[in-house]
Amino acid sequence: MGQRKSEYANSITFLLHFSLNPTALFGSFEDIHSSNSATLCCVEKNLGEIKNRVYGKGSGAKAGVEVWCIENLQLVPVPKSSHGKFFCGSAYIILNTVLLKNGSPEHDIHYWLGKDAKEVDSALASDKALELDEALGSHTVQYREVQGQETEKFLSYFKPCIIPIEGVFSSGPGHVNTETYQVTLLTCKGDRAVHVKEVPFTRTSLNHNDVFILDTASKIYLFSGCNSSIQERAKALEVVEYIKENKHGGKCEVAAIDDGKFVGDPDVGEFWSLFGGYAPIPRDLASAVPEQPVISTVKLFWITTQGKLCQNEADNLNKEMLSSDKCYMLDCGTELFIWMGTSTSITERKTAISAVEDFVRSQGRSVGTHITFLTEGSETTLFRSHFDKWPQKVEPKLYEEGRGKVAAIFKQSGYDVKELPEEDCQPCIDCSGTLKVWRVNGDEVTLIPVAEQMKFYSGDCYILQYTYAGHEREENLFYAWLGCSSSMDDKADAISHMDAIISSTKGNPVLAQIVEGREPEQFFAITQKLVIFKGGMGKRYKKSTAEKGIPDETFDDTNTALFRVQGKSLSNTQAVQVDQVSSSLNSSYSYILKTRTSVFTWVGNLSSARDQDLVDRMLDLINPTWQPILVREGSEPDVFWNALGGKGEYPREKEIKGFTEDPHLFTCVSTEGDFKVKEIFNFSQDDLTTEDVLVLDCHSEIYVWIGRHSNIRSKQEALTIGLKFLEMDILVEGLSLETPIYVVKEAYEPPLFTRFFEWDSSKANMIGNTFERKLAILNGRAKKMEAPLGGSWKAYSREITPNSNRSRSVGPNGVARSTSPASSVLGSRVKSSDNRRFSSPPPIPTKLFSGSSPDLGDTAKGPHAPSVNTGQQVHQSQDGLNVVFYPYERLKVVSSDPVTGIDVTRRETYLSDEEFQDIFKMARNAFYELPKWRQNKLKMSLNLF
């Protein structure tokens, strides 16, 4: 019997592992899709075979873009090297696959129709897209893309742009064109996704509103209309770079021409000479293109099996109007949606698509009207937003479902099932820094003593300042913690007081507004051990309870109190006081129950040995004199239940925390009460344009990013934008107004933020507007555009604090804060495979002794300049610049005879090779090969930083 029980448990453990990681059995998602999909995805076997035969084995199994073209009424795969090259006379199918953090794939299908594509090819592309959707389980979203009217989502796959090519696609070998280079004139429109179109090479094609690219054999000219935006010009530069690399092999000149500026620039003369000489560009005439009809209300139509559209006359739309055995069209004016029920056949769906295309033609709608095809269950945010109270998806995905639920059931029944690891939530920043905490009490802000700073009250608000070692400088992170029982006045004052403290802090700290019960993991990693008591110590809380005639719940050693203990480790633990009733218990946690006469520690059946260790730690923090009585779930004495008002029901299932949602990036524009939000698809660091304010939505928290050149001047304004974003709930994901909001300023982005990008710190430190920066990069002058050492950077110089060894924060019991897990893996983090680097941009040193130095005379004027009247040796630094040697004793931060006129961030540069080897115990070259954080740590230990 025991052996059978063990085998059963082992089988369950295997199934649990597979439910979390199905690729463990088949090897990869490719194998899953090519296997009998009836078991895994409910896709019939013959459809899987059709997909493999038509689209190729493993289509949609791996993340990325796949492209097929219709050639001779057949689907032909387009090689990756040709992705982004679309012929005007052809029709294409594009499949984009994203592997979400929860492990499941997400598919989008687009079919692109060239302006000269044959009607039969266009119809075939539509049909094949629908068949591919069916083969992938009918969970994709399909988009109809027409040349010149592509969606931004589609264009985001082929950055920086697509430039349609005249002719028809051919899968045969290409032919090299040896004729004279064809001069082309292109127009670029769009500040995020760029629509590129070839126009006639004549002066009349130019206008004042757009940006143009004139591509010649020896030079590329960028002409910016005087009414074009900086962002449009910057995006056009990306197209210029693309043309330079792909058509010129990276070898040609680039010239930027400004509309209306004639200052003797030879490039300007060359540009106009190509048009036969300069002549004024006429003022723009009204567009002759007919405008799209304005649709005042959204209309819903049922599409019959014969292709007839029947309008639903209801004033308000709701999900119950959509039947699973029918197809519908939602008319939103410039965009149409076709919704297909799960019980409809491919024939019915093809009929619906044909009916909608006929509708577009008969209504005189633009051929570029966007049409999106949705199968029941895969509705997009925009579609759902047109319906009243569209129900949230509550069913967990397979991978989340299996994370611990089945394990919990068998553990509850006594089976020894090995627990599965939780999602890795390692801190993103060094958590061994120093912490200050203030309590907000009306107009007063009181600094809490270190011994008490980790004891919060729900009726109060607090301000926390966390200082830690960043990349090349010290960083500050501020939190405004708002207790759930605190008054609105205290919450407003907390933000105001935090803003005042930040104003007196050097640099540009990150700030966050968090509400009790919705704290981010990083907050708990910083506080390390935290107790949250009921009640409050502030005068407003006391006054409120007195006025309302309600009892003051402020914790008192003499009263009964129940604490839920939670956390991930001994350095990340919380004890939260909850209502002292049995329904507050949960089998997943451990608890501390304080009665008038005794103290109990209650251990839930689904808690681990780690949870019990956390209880002991929190007992010491709440009251180290308490002597607890251990009680296990199911063996509680009557006195235990009596203290909770009697035995009752409580949750007995394992609490499952879902995966972190995949983030979305949005631009936000707020003008005269009008708040506009627009999503940026497939975003990267380059989308953080300095003129804008953007919101990174991570579902469990949001980040408001403020560009240097944006019109937001205070962080309180940024918090307001964050709250407006939460109110709008753009993705219809049920965002709470209590979601944590971080405010991040350009060039001061913390790893908390940069982990969502492939981050390049040098880009974050560039000055100038977006266009100037990209032009500098294109012309190889990026280094000159980097912010010089000084200003805000100077505030972080170690000269200001002679004691170079950073103090460790002391905990409530006089114990030093433990070293963060992040600090032990900094080296591996910096060179991680996904380039999620520690982001605080390093200060870019000014050229050492460029020109003459007041302290060195002419010693650094050139590579052969003699060391005149200095008595010092000259050598060449890593940057190829000449510097002078100084003795170690004069270079130390705490020197009694310090050297002046040197770069204080590069003191080691001025040591001779012999003394460098003696001091650092390594050669100079070996030192500079170390990661930056190790260099700095070593320099700090030697008083050189």
681 phi, psi to nearest 5 deg: -85, 150
Structure confidence at residue 874 as a pLDDT band (50, 70, 90): low
250/572 Cα distance (integer angstroms): 52
* pLDDT number for residue 810: 41
* Between 415 and 273, residue with greater pLDDT: 273
The CA R_g of the chain, rounded to the nearest whole Å, is 33
472 pLDDT exceeds 70?
Answer: yes
Instruction: Indicate the Cα dihedral angle 881, 884, 888, 892, nearest 10°.
Output: -70
* pLDDT number for residue 785: 65
Residue whose structure tokens are 């933020």? 753
561 pLDDT exceeds 70?
Answer: yes
595/695 Cα distance (integer angstroms): 47
418 pLDDT exceeds 80?
Answer: no
Alpha helices in 157-261 (DSSP H): 230-247
Identify the CA nearest to 911 among candidates 936, 885, 937, 893: 885
Structure confidence at residue 285 as a pLDDT band (50, 70, 90): low
* pLDDT number for residue 659: 53
819 pLDDT exceeds 50?
Answer: no
Give CA separation, 382 vs 106, 330, 334, in Å. Answer: 17, 11, 13
Cis peptide before 427 (omega within 30 of 0): no
- Let me know: does 349 contact 126? Beta carbons within 8 Å: no
Which range has the worst mean pLDDT, 302-306, 441-445, 903-907? 903-907
106/140 Cα distance (integer angstroms): 7
Average pLDDT over residues 137-162: 92
791/781 Cα distance (integer angstroms): 22
Beta 335-340 vs 211-215: how paired, if at all?
A: unpaired
Beta 882-884 vs 195-199: how paired, if at all?
A: unpaired
309 pLDDT exceeds 80?
Answer: yes
* pLDDT number for residue 879: 53
548 pLDDT exceeds 90?
Answer: no
Sign of CA dihedral 236, 238, 239, 241: positive
786 pLDDT exceeds 50?
Answer: yes
* Between 440 and 267, residue with greater pLDDT: 440
Coil, strand, or helix at residue 742? Answer: strand
E strands within 701-826? 702-706, 741-745
Q: What is the pLDDT of residues 919-945, one digit of tens each?
A: 988 998 888 888 776 787 788 778 886
Question: Residue 751: exposed, middle, or buried by beta-carbon count in 10 A (0-12, 13-18, 19+)?
Answer: buried
* pLDDT number for residue 176: 47
Q: What is the pLDDT of residues 72-130, one digit of tens each?
A: 999 999 999 889 899 999 999 999 998 877 778 889 999 999 999 999 999 999 999 99
Residues 6+ positions from 935 with CB-CB distance below 8 Å: 927, 928
Residues 6+ positions from 343 with CB-CB distance below 8 Å: 324, 325
Sheet holding 572-578, edge to edge: 455-457, 529-533, 572-578, 561-569, 590-594, 599-603, 629-632
Average pLDDT over residues 7-29: 36
266/262 Cα distance (integer angstroms): 10
48-52, 434-438, 756-760 — most confident range: 434-438
Q: What is the pLDDT of residues 37-81, one digit of tens each?
A: 333 333 334 444 545 555 555 677 788 999 999 999 999 999 998
Give CA separation, 426 vs 20, 192, 446, 509, in Å. Answer: 20, 33, 32, 22
Tokens of 412: 């509850």
194/156 Cα distance (integer angstroms): 9
- Let me know: does 618 contact 563? Beta carbons within 8 Å: yes
Instruction: Indicate the Cα dihedral angle 905, 909, 911, 913, nearest 10°.
Output: 150
Instruction: Please report, as a single letter, which amino acid is at residue 381.
Output: T
Which range has the worst mean pLDDT, 11-15, 257-261, 386-390, 935-939? 11-15
For residue 386, list its beta bridge partners: none
246 pLDDT exceeds 60?
Answer: yes
Q: What percent of the chain has pLDDT over 70?
A: 76
Average pLDDT over residues 460-467: 96
What 3 state SS string does 368-435 have? CCEEEEEECCCCCHHHHCCCCCCCCCCCCCHHHHCCCHHHHHHHHCCCCCCCCCCCCCCCCCCCCCEE
Average pLDDT over residues 178-190: 82
439/464 Cα distance (integer angstroms): 9
DSSP line for 61-130: SSSEEEEEEEETTEEEEPPGGGTT--BTT-EEEEEEEEE-TTS-EEEEEEEEE-TT--HHHHHHHHHHHH
Percent helix, strand, coil in the chain, to 5, is: 30, 20, 50
Structure confidence at residue 283 as a pLDDT band (50, 70, 90): confident
Coil, strand, or helix at residue 438? Answer: strand
* pLDDT number for residue 658: 53
283 phi, psi to nearest 5 deg: -60, 145
Sign of CA dihedral 721, 727, 730, 736: positive
Mean pLDDT, all residues of the chain:
78
Average pLDDT over residues 774-797: 59
Instruction: Indicate the Cα dihedral angle 934, 935, 936, 937, nearest 10°.
Output: 40
Q: What is the pLDDT of residues 648-684, one digit of tens each?
A: 999 988 766 655 568 999 999 877 778 889 999 999 9
Which range has the worst mean pLDDT, 191-205, 492-506, 854-868? 854-868
Instruction: Please report, as a single letter, which amino acid is at residue 250.
Output: G
* Between 669 and 602, residue with greater pLDDT: 602
779 pLDDT exceeds 90?
Answer: no
Residues 6+ positions from 253 with CB-CB distance below 8 Å: 218, 219, 220
412-416, 550-554, 694-698, 781-785 — most confident range: 694-698
815/811 Cα distance (integer angstroms): 5
Question: Residue 535: exposed, middle, or buried by beta-carbon count in 10 A (0-12, 13-18, 19+)?
Answer: buried
* pLDDT number for residue 907: 87
Residue 505 CB neighbour total at 10 angstroms: 13
For residue 903, list its beta bridge partners: none
Average pLDDT over residues 809-833: 37
Q: Taking the complete model, does pTM exceed 0.85, yes or no?
A: no
430/408 Cα distance (integer angstroms): 34
